[in-house]
Structure 1
Amino acid sequence: MQGRDPGEEHRTATPLELLFDLTFVVAVSQAAAQLHHALAEGHVGSGLTGYAAVFFAVWWAWMNFTWFASAYDTDDVPYRLLTLLQMAGVLVLAAGVPDAFQENDFSVVVLGYVIMRVALIAQWLRAAAEHPGGRGTALRYAAGIAVVQCGWIARLWAPGVWAPVTFVLLVVAELAVPAWAESRGRITSWHPGHVAERYGLFTIIVLGEVILASFTAVQSAMTDHGLSASVVLIALGGLVLVFALWWTYFAGGSAVLANLRTALVWGYGHYLVFAALAALGSGLEAALDAAEHHADLSEQAAGFAVALPVVTALLVLGVLQRLTGSGAVGHSLLVVAGALVVPALAAATPALGLGGAVLGMGLAVAATLAANIVALRRRTGG
């Protein structure tokens, strides 16, 4: 485990990394499903809080493995077995998601999270032993991760108001570990192109989960009451939203991660991107429930359940793509305009109908994308 060349040509995702991602889809699916149930039952505040907490654990464990694998993927037997242990950990975490939402019991989630993190500590210790040039950085990673995991375990006994306070403090500590570990000595030899590709692949996987969740909800609505005009419009609008957001993400080439600071901002910002895209599926399911009168949620509230994830994804992607010189951001004002039109359509749900509002959101995002592409081509002369 000597560290891979950060300038290596044709560095692509491995079959093991793709299999690893698929186990995380289970956890993402569980979090999105529980958010959908919370929205449908009218428990918006508690649902969003639980979703943000669970999704952080899922995203952060995925991100840490991805960056480590970009630098130290030896693909030998010990590496594969430790990766398998991390995959087992995420499945344990996924099994604990319902209790985290419904009972505020994070014990199984923390158990799965710690399993994943212990496996990663072992990987960093191996890197420290076998790669003298990166030993200091590897040891700082191992130590930082270990200390924070002790904090997560201790938090299970945090009383009352200390539970949310300690959660925020531990999240800050988690985010600080890479910055601290990389700030002294040799920087880990992660591959910029490989990391950008891995994030893009996970984006596709999350969007695929949105399509699957929406299809399941449409199928259920058809089985119960047949195919109504509202269901058709929501399904069509949801498909346009997914396609337009996919195009927005991948237009204009891969992100250019020129330095560690840019890479960290870009990488951390994807928490909001991934969480928003997965939440879009929950919002579309809640909208279908509301259209069929199966939810304790008004049609206007269901419209906002679709609109807010879309607005979050548009704005965050706009910032990250401007930062890295990628994507379809021809002008920042166009992104802002699109982000204003989408919630305005949600507010107009009583006049447009829920189906019309969701379809309008899809068309608004598509129009924003088209306008940005035109502006980008004029600016670059393409």
Structure 2
Amino acid sequence: MDDGSETVPPAGTRDRIRVRMTARAIDEPHRAASPLELLFDLTFVVAVAAVTVQLAHEIADGHALSGLVPFLQVFFAVWWAWMNFTWFASSYDTDDVAYRLLTLVQMGGVLVLAAGVPAAAEDSDFRAITLGYFLMRIALVAQWLRAGVEDPAGRRTALRYAAGITALQAGWILRLVLAETGALPSAAQLPSFVVLAALELSVPWWAERTSPTNWHPHHIAERYGLFTIILFGESVLAASNGVGGALEAAGPSVPLIVIAVSGLVLLFGLWWLYFLTPAGEGLSDRRDRSYLWGYGHYVLFAALAALGAGLEVAVERTGHHLKASDLAICYAVAVPAAIYIVALWLVHRPIVAAPALRPAVVAAGATATLLLPLAVPLTGVPAAVAAIAAVCVLMVAVTYRPLLSGGRTPSPSRAEEGKIGT
């Protein structure tokens, strides 16, 4: 029966003018990332690149620790906006005109936020970042309000989401106004950020206490995998920028080639480890543990972005004299890599009974990665980075050892792909 809520497009066309926003099935067949979601992700490429470049500058200038807090703050805004869009889309994506236009507003907010990264890092000026975040969040509020109007079954949850996001957005604007007028002391700015961020994280838990949203487990797993690939791509780009700078300053050299190749091997190995575990199956079987998996990815994603900054500086070191010490540069690579390894196991452990990575392998790999930079006075930066890459390769080899012995084999990424659409 046509209730006027949907306009059926002419045969042969895919554009939908108006589609009633109702919860999508959690077992919907052939559910995969839409072209709009892929386009949306591209704007985050710009935002992540801006954050990574700024952190690389701080590391190169010998201010890695002081630059870490602004990096984590801005990255939280980027990650949280992406994650909220992703989970909403998994539940309510209609791909009609209204949905697309509101997504466009969110994309514009991402670009405004990215433009404000240098000012935030250098001058503690968060006006552009707050404006970009506001645009992203207010568009999401409109999406939730629409879901509340058009989906009676999920109305209460949708309206709670809209109310929670609106209240927190007012809090962020108030924080900016107080900071700009001097009413919020510098010492209180970080604690206020932590409080507001914690409240942001609590909104989904509070909103879904009434009834959970109908997110699709394999779609969510695919979306997180795609964002992981974006972050790996950013790391490759950051390292490439370092190579370009080193070549321009000193031309090709053995240390440059060693670090460039080792960085690529390291990133490839970490990518391989991520896609060993089919997260979609775990999310489908343990939906109640999705918060641990989803929120834990903040650490994993931030570590990948920081690793890209570290690799850029390590490569650049071969052609430039930097203020940062060789030990600090090596740890700018080792610490994010070790955090990534541990976080990878931690995020999958709640949803998968037997993750492909065993605890002993994780502990040994992370420990070795953190100890290797101590040898940099004897080996130099290139050898240390090569050794870290070798540890990652060894972890992949050890994980695949059952394949050679005829035992249990790790699940490759195609196992996850095969689940999407079943």
Alpha-carbon contact 1:66-1:198 (below 8 Å) kept: yes
Structure 1 residue 375, shift from structure 2 partner:
5.2
Which structure's CA Rg is the greater one? Answer: 2
The verdict on how the C-alpha distance between 1:32 and 1:194 changes in structure 2, with shifts beyond 3 A counting, is same
| Alignment match, 1:286 | 313
Partners in 2 of 1:169 and 1:313 — Cα distance?
Answer: 25
CA RMSD of aligned residues (A): 1.6
Greater shift, 312-321 or 114-123, is seen at: 312-321
The one-character-per-residue Cα deviations of 1:259-309 (angstroms, maximum 9, x if unpaired) are 444111100011111111111110011112333343111111100000011
- Structure 2 unpaired stretches of 5+: 1-20, 179-183, 410-422
Structure 1 residue 321, shift from structure 2 partner:
2.1
| Alignment match, 1:72 | 92
The one-character-per-residue Cα deviations of 1:200-239 (angstroms, maximum 9, x if unpaired) are 0010111011111111211221122111111111101100
The one-character-per-residue Cα deviations of 1:142-196 (angstroms, maximum 9, x if unpaired) are 0000000011011111222221111010010000000011112x21001011000
Partners in 1 of 2:113 and 2:71 — Cα distance?
Answer: 13
- TM-score w.r.t. the length of structure 2 is 0.87
Which amino acid letter does the alignment assign opposite residue 6 of structure 1?
A: I
Partners in 2 of 1:326 and 1:26 — Cα distance?
Answer: 36
Aligned pairs for 1:196-211 within 5 A = 196-211=221-236
Count of aligned positions: 381
Structure 1 residue 100, shift from structure 2 partner:
0.7
The one-character-per-residue Cα deviations of 1:83-136 (angstroms, maximum 9, x if unpaired) are 000000000000100011000111110110011000000000000000000000
- Tell me the percent identity: 50
Partners in 1 of 2:125 and 2:322 — Cα distance?
Answer: 25
Q: 1:343 aligns with which of 370, 373, 390?
A: 370
Instruction: Tell me the SS of whatever aligns to 1:183.
Output: coil
Instruction: Tell me the SS of whatever aligns to 2:124.
Output: coil
1:182 matched to 2:208: yes
Alpha-carbon contact 2:246-2:315 (below 8 Å) kept: yes
Partners in 1 of 2:277 and 2:160 — Cα distance?
Answer: 36
Structure 1 residue 251, shift from structure 2 partner:
1.3
1:128 matched to 2:128: no
Structure 1 residue 349, shift from structure 2 partner:
1.1
| Alignment match, 2:14 | none
Alpha-carbon contact 2:349-2:355 (below 8 Å) kept: no
Which amino acid letter does the alignment assign opposite residue 24 of structure 1?
A: F
Aligned pairs for 1:321-336 within 5 A = 321-325=348-352, 329-336=356-363
| Alignment match, 2:79 | 59
Partners in 2 of 1:127 and 1:38 — Cα distance?
Answer: 43
Greater shift, 279-288 or 112-121, is seen at: 279-288
Partners in 2 of 1:381 and 1:249 — Cα distance?
Answer: 18
Alpha-carbon contact 2:59-2:67 (below 8 Å) kept: yes
Partners in 2 of 1:117 and 1:302 — Cα distance?
Answer: 36
The 4+ residue runs of structure 1 with deviation greater than 4 A are 375-380
- Structure 1 unpaired stretches of 5+: none
Aligned pairs for 1:151-230 within 5 A = 151-156=171-176, 157=178, 158-184=184-210, 186-230=211-255
